[in-house]
Structure 1
Amino acid sequence: FVALVKPITMMLKKSMDFKWIVEGKQSFEAIKEAISQDPTLINPDFSKDFILYGFGGNDTISAILVQQNKDNVEQEIAFFRQILEENE
């Protein structure tokens, strides 16, 4: 998801003049498609273990919190993402 929103996020930075670019339009269309698809978030079951996946790059960090359902399939509970500023 972070990769999908990065072109739009870069276009919206205060240090840059806003200009609708091809990459921004492609990013916007990809985001619309992604949010119209699964996953469906579930409510946490505090009697079960949680699994946290973390990802980091040069300019972003993200995480997904999941639990296994009754079929032992991981189901998403929450997502987190942050685009890092230059000083972070």
Structure 2
Amino acid sequence: MVIALNAIVAYLLSGVALKLLWGWFMVPTLGLPVISLVQAIGVGIVISFLTQQHIPRDKDEAKELLIYEVIKPVLAIAVGWVVHLFM
């Protein structure tokens, strides 16, 4: 149950981060089309499928991984927002 929750939260937050960062940087810089949240989540799933993933062995490790999966996209959005302010 914890692993499934971890995956859902990770995919949703990564999708939100990808959508925002894509709109802030890829659209104005390269003239690419805007992507929807569903498209961003799909791209995130494909990327995570192609890259190595850590499988937690116990509940404590799963909780730590969930915290990491929340902090990583939130930090990416925060840094991207600051950089976007200077564009």
TM-score category (smaller protein): under 0.3
Structure number having the greater helix percentage: 2
Structure number having the greater strand percentage: 1
TM-score (norm 1): 0.27
Higher relative contact order structure (alpha carbons within 8 Å, sequence separation ≥ 6): 2
